[in-house]
Chain A
Amino acid sequence: MLSELFAERAGDYRAGVHHCTEAELPGVLAGLLAGASAVVVPPGLPQAWTRDLAGPQLPDHGLTPADLDAPGLSVLTGCAAAIAETGTIVLDTGPGQGRRLLTLVPDHHVCVVYDDRVVADVPDLFAVLPDPTRPLTMISGPSATSDIELDRVEGVHGPRRLDIVCVHADAGKEPR
């Protein structure tokens, strides 16, 4: 199963990986975002995803970098595709993903990945993207560096926490 490999590989690079069904999704998101001072909401995000959020929401009507640098912010997005072999999520600024800086400046990113968005490996990606000339951002785990003694440590300039919610078509973690 591609989605299982994706979840395992995303976990290898210290993204938080969670599993749920479509029906459980709003509750899972509310739990992950409970500690946020506010949640940044890109245009086109399905309304059901934000239904159970308790705290304030910040829809993107031209948020500035300074707005996004406020402490405790989280951002919630979908993705254009995900790559199983490398545990990568791919954003293309399409609906529910928003401008590139929305997923960059806040310190916490929660990304929803449906099973059917997962492709096997990097070369398969370019076949499924609707328009590869949109700005693309491929994300594999939280921001990291290997610049000190070539040892990987998480948390430099991008979000220091990345949570990935894998939505499976059927109940629980069972394959379809």
Chain B
Amino acid sequence: MSRHLPIVAVTPFPAAAAHELKDAQLRANLGRATRTIRDKRARVVAEVPDWEELRERAARTKDEVLDRLPELLARFERAAAAAGASVHHAADAAAANAIVAELVRAQGADRVVKIKSMATQEIGLNEALAEAGITAIETDLAELIVQLADDTPSHILVPAIHYNRSQIREIFAARMPGFSAESDEPAVLAGAAREYLRRTFLSAEVAVCGANFAVAETGSLVIVESEGNGRMCLTLPGTLIAVVGVEKLLPRMADLGDFLRLLPRSSTGERMNPYTSVFTGVTPDDGPRRLHIVLLDNGRTKTAQDPVGRAALRCIRCSACLNVCPVYERTGGHAYGSVYPGPIGAILSPQLTGQDAGANSSLPFASTLCGACYDVCPVKIDIPEILVHLRQTGPKPAAERAAMATLSWVMRDRRRWRGALRAARTGAVPLRALTRRRGGTLRRAPWPVSAWTAHRDAPLPPPESFRDWWRRTHAE
């Protein structure tokens, strides 16, 4: 694959974050938006008395899917084909993009309307279609804002979360043909998007979507949305192409009951989102005449083989973990360099690509391990545990490896360790007088300790070890 994948960070997280943190407007926008959504979520979750059991059950259902993946995929494929869908398999992004481009070309179309889909963002479908001479039109309001601004998404659910209303008005005024409103009221801006896209919907021949869930038992796909742009894409064009990650499967239709209670509450903080569509193959005289389902692997099967990391594949893309993350709230989504930002992105992106891809091995460090993400996750992904696991298994710089090997050698033997501590205390003696007024801490030190003191004070070793103190004061 020659093209840069949208789930590979180019810049290591600390450098990207330092850059984003300089943007005070961004922090204000994010702070306000994430506070709003956190409060809404907390209110509707508190209404559900069996929330913890619900999370537990949903986690088990998703684990069952991972355990039975080949069997359930075959079952889904049979059921979907029996209902009139054509099912395709894509091992990676390039294969999926090629299949979709070919299907669009076969319809003689040069543009497609799109429902917001993380899977198509993950594979860079819009860019691949553009190279094939096909225009992809995003119809979700936030995606449309990002597309008009020629920007990249910064949040899973609300890709334009980094803009406030007046910035969005400016983007529309500059880029949306026919837009002339003076007001930046959200209702006015939403109305403008309705006018702008309506003609496009009525004339579109091909639509592209993802899926929130795929039901193995019946071959059905489920799309959860708010605006109705999804329903437009699912019912008006004659051809519908769905790009579905293999982990989106649920074994049974009845499993939707749990997941449709969890997802809207966790993502938009609503009891239920305005529109949920469930469709099975093609239906005569209703909706598309041709349905193609592209089942996407792109690193998922490999991730499912890691006994710790596989839990990341339970993710239903609700984005609750982003909204509670103290790191995300300050740096925003762009710092992660992947279309999957925040805590879930920090464990998903490096696993899907492999940790050696770009700067993805820096992502598991983009966390304080505070655990807020685990508390809100509707499918109980222990994100901190996976972050630590990836830190342990990821590639390390040679200097760090050497330092850790030395430290490990010193700490393995009590005499070596005592000797090292004594040497450190002796070395610290001349510094003690200099730092007395600051409570015995070092503000700035030469390399390699400078890596530590750049962001925090370094305490000097205490003048006496606990063992020495004990021996001195408790001598018989």
Contact = CB atoms under 8 A, between A and B. Distances in A.
Interface of A: 9, 12-13, 62, 65-66, 69, 83, 85-88, 93, 99-101, 104, 121-126, 132-159
B253 to A, nearest CB: 5
Contacts of B283: 93, 134-135
Contact of B228 (A65, A135, A136, A158): A158
16 contacts: A9-B271, A65-B236, A100-B277, A100-B287, A122-B260, A123-B254, A126-B253, A140-B270, A143-B275, A144-B226, A145-B186, A148-B186, A153-B190, A156-B141, A157-B232, A159-B228
Contact of B227 (A83, A99, A145): A145
A122 B257 CA distance: 5
A156 to B, nearest CB: 4
Interface string B228-269: 110110111000000000000000011011101100000010
B274 A149 contact: no
A147 B36 CA distance: 12
B278 interface: yes
B262 to A, nearest CB: 10
Contacts of B226: 143-146, 156
B117 interface: no
B175 interface: no
B441 interface: no
Interface string B111-152: 000000000000000000000000000011110010000000
A132 B278 contact: yes
Given A86-B272, A140-B272, A158-B228, A153 B187 contact: yes
A149 B165 contact: yes
B388 interface: no
B16 interface: no
A69 B202 CA distance: 9
Contact residues of A: prevailing secondary structure: loop
B276 interface: yes
Nearest to B44: A86
B323 to A, nearest CB: 9
Nearest to B141: A147
A93 B198 CA distance: 23
B194 interface: yes
Interface stretch (B156-164, B356-364, B408-416): B156-164
Contacts of A150: 33-34, 36-37, 40, 158, 161, 268
B261 A121 contact: yes
A118 to B, nearest CB: 14
A104 B231 CA distance: 7
B218 interface: yes
A124 B226 CA distance: 22
Interface residues of B, number: 65
B220 A133 contact: yes
Nearest to A83: B272
B235 A101 contact: yes
A99 B228 contact: no
Interface string B204-224: 000000000000001010000
Given A123-B254, A155-B187, 19 more contacts: A87-B272, A100-B235, A122-B261, A125-B257, A126-B254, A126-B257, A132-B218, A135-B278, A135-B280, A136-B277, A137-B231, A140-B271, A145-B186, A147-B190, A148-B189, A149-B32, A152-B270, A153-B190, A158-B274
B273 interface: yes
A147 B277 contact: no
Contacts of B36: 149-151
Contacts of A13: 270, 272, 274
Contacts of A143: 226-228, 274-275
B142 A147 contact: yes
A93 B286 contact: yes
A151 B186 contact: yes
A101 B227 CA distance: 15
B285 interface: yes
Contacts of A133: 83, 218, 220, 280-281
B32 A126 contact: no
B53 to A, nearest CB: 12
Interface string B189-204: 1110110011001100
B190 A148 contact: yes
Contacts of B452: none
Contacts of A145: 141, 186, 190, 226-227
B268 A123 contact: no
A155 B229 contact: no
Nearest to A133: B280
Given A122-B257, A155-B194, A148 B165 contact: yes
Nearest to B160: A147
Contacts of A142: 274
A93 B254 CA distance: 20
Interface string B294-325: 00000000000000000000000000000000
Contacts of B201: 65, 157
B168 interface: yes
B257 A123 contact: yes
Q: Closest 6 CB pairs between A and B?
A: A158-B228, A123-B257, A157-B228, A86-B272, A156-B227, A147-B142
A123 B255 CA distance: 8
